[in-house]
Structure 1
Amino acid sequence: MSTKTIEEKQYLVRFKADHKSHLTIIDHDICLTQCPDKLCTLFCPGEVYKWEGKRMQVGYEGCHECGSCRIGCPTQNIKWEYPKGGYGVIFRLA
């Protein structure tokens, strides 16, 4: 069996996005003033968090639902919930 790269494995992940985000930045000012390293932009495997200008943008549609952000945010400034039933990540095996 051949070893797949992370990019090849990520290609197997599909999403059914809800119209409402299950990820919320509680206070955008905390990201701006208390988190100089913007760690969520580094540890999220789905690259959901992007720092744009002076505001954290959340592309929840690509969330892998791993929970890294709720654990790794040093200021606990991310509210993470499971997407409502029928929505979210869909894993395909190959």
Structure 2
Amino acid sequence: MIQIEEKLYQNRYRVDEGRPHIKIKNRETCTLCYDKSCTVLCPAGCYRKNETEEVTLITDGCLECGTCQIICMEHKNIQWEYPRGGFGILYKFG
């Protein structure tokens, strides 16, 4: 059975250095979030909890699905836009 990581590895991502298309607006707001759903529901695993339970974001590999915006609707703490042309996810199959 193929693992999700193996499928994600099939995709390529062109990083726009110094210009991430997703940002956490206020890190302090993330501390108010009870379950930190973004760390579980992001299909690319861009959001993670570190050892102090803070949410970290690594945009490399983002699938540009917008799930994080929907999950964070209550706090509206995600600034999300599509990457500039030529950057972002490059799907190998599809």
TM-score (norm: length of structure 2)? 0.85
Structure 2: 5+ residue runs without aligned partners?
Answer: none
Aligned to 2:12, which of 14, 17, 22?
A: 14
Identity, in percent, stands at: 38
Deviations, residues 17-51 of structure 1 (Å, cap 9, x unaligned): 1112111111111101x202111001101110122
Number of residue pairs matched? 91
Which residue of 2 is the match for residue 42 of structure 1? 40
Root mean square deviation of aligned Cα? 1.9
Paired residue secondary structure (2:5): helix
Task: Return the letter of the residue paired with 1:15.
Answer: Y
Which residue of 2 is the match for residue 71 of structure 1? 70
Alignment partners' CA distance in 1, 2:11 and 2:4: 11
Alignment partners' CA distance in 1, 2:55 and 2:71: 15
Which residue of 2 is the match for residue 84 of structure 1? 84
Say which structure is richer in helix: 1
Deviations, residues 29-84 of structure 1 (Å, cap 9, x unaligned): 1101x202111001101110122236422101121101000111131211111011
Alignment partners' CA distance in 1, 2:75 and 2:23: 13
Alignment partners' CA distance in 2, 1:5 and 1:55: 27
Task: Return the letter of the residue paired with 1:42.
Answer: V
Say which structure is richer in strand: 1
1:7 shift after superposition? 3.0
- Does the 8 Å contact 2:39/2:55 carry over to 1? no
Alignment partners' CA distance in 2, 1:93 and 1:54: 35
